[in-house]
Amino acid sequence: MALQYVEAQRQARPDLADWYADLADLYQRKLWHQLTLKLDQFLQIPAAQTGDTLIQLYNNFISDFETKINLLKLAQFAVIASRQYPDKDAAITFLEGIITKLRETRELRINEPILHVKMQIAAIHLDKGNHKECKNLLEEGKTTLDGMTDVDPTVHASFYWISSQYHKSLQEFAEFYKNALLYLAYTTVGSLSESFKLDLAFDLSLAALLGDNIYNFGELLAHPIINSLIGTKVEWVYHMLQAFNTGNLALYQELCGVHNAALSAQPALVQNEQKLLEKINILCLMEIIFSGHQKIEPSH
């Protein structure tokens, strides 16, 4: 069945023929680890991202040996495949089936792959606007994570990413900021696309400016992701962060004048204009006090 499917795809998809030939070869030789590595690469290529290619690959090929490969990798493959379902409920049903299969293996450390899959289900619920279900899965996930040791970074990353998106959807800026930075702590920035990095850097910058009790911008400004803003049409937000970081009220006012149109296009900034002014004034005052202390000569 599995080999027949791969052979049929090799004929039907000349653009992926070499890939399917390699998958068939590794499958026949039962080289499960090498097959896992090859699948990992295959799932990332643009040609495999079309239509329901990955759903079919999972159901007709991967499912044949799913308990023979690393179960966290299996969970990751299933999550990637699930994104090709046009119907969100069908994607949830597919993923719940994966969780059942994972539980049936009775393997140790089964919580990791199950949690990874559950976070994708949480993401789908969030996409559907079902905040309650998403929140329940996140709370359950946090409890599971807290009870585990030596957790794979990708599992931490999936949890913190969905947490960040949940808080973003509710405009809870400080919580989004905290969770998004934790996501980055478990992620290799080089593995992220340029557009993803730019969007995240912009969201983080706005959250830092708007978040309650966020008065330290050093961690964000020191993170490589912030460089994604340089040379783009949203570079102004980088300079805004610099103004807040140094408590430079004059620079802030200048930026507001120069980039008025861009600022006005951001509803969250418009709605919180007074809050931003209060924040920069506090930072300006802190800078003056700090500078004053620095200049005081010790008495002799």
Kindly report each contact of residues 47-53 with a partner whose C-beta sits within 8 Å and lies 24 or more positions away, as own/partner.
47/13, 47/15, 47/16, 48/16, 48/19, 49/84, 51/84, 52/84, 52/85, 53/84
297 pLDDT above the threshold of 90 = no
300 pLDDT above the threshold of 70 = no
Average pLDDT over residues 207-235: 96
The predicted pLDDT at position 109 comes to 87
Average pLDDT over residues 92-115: 95
The predicted pLDDT at position 181 comes to 97
pLDDT digits (tens, 9 = 90+) for 152-211: 999 999 999 999 999 999 999 999 999 999 999 999 999 999 999 999 999 999 999 999
The predicted pLDDT at position 52 comes to 96
CA distance 229 to 227: 5
The predicted pLDDT at position 15 comes to 95
Average pLDDT over residues 231-243: 97
pLDDT digits (tens, 9 = 90+) for 127-154: 999 999 999 999 999 999 999 999 999 9
Q: What is the separation, in whole angstroms, between the first and last Cα of the chain?
A: 89
The alpha-helical segments, DSSP class H, found in 45-87 are 53-60, 71-82
The predicted pLDDT at position 291 comes to 79
Query: For the whole prediction, is pTM greater than 0.75?
Result: yes
Average pLDDT over residues 95-123: 95
Handedness of CA 225, 45, 123, 37 (dihedral sign): negative
User: What's the mean per-residue pLDDT of the chain?
Assistant: 95
292 pLDDT above the threshold of 80 = no
The predicted pLDDT at position 295 comes to 53
Average pLDDT over residues 95-124: 95
294 pLDDT above the threshold of 90 = no
Would you tell me how many other CB atoms lie within 10 Å of the CB of residue 259?
17
CA distance 7 to 33: 21
Residue 225, SS3 per DSSP: helix
The predicted pLDDT at position 129 comes to 96
CA distance 62 to 277: 56
Residue 193, SS3 per DSSP: coil
Say which residue, 93 or 67, is predicted with more confidence: 93
Query: Side chain identity at 274, as an amino acid letter?
Result: Q
The predicted pLDDT at position 139 comes to 98
Q: What are phi and psi of 220, to 5 degrees?
A: -70, -45
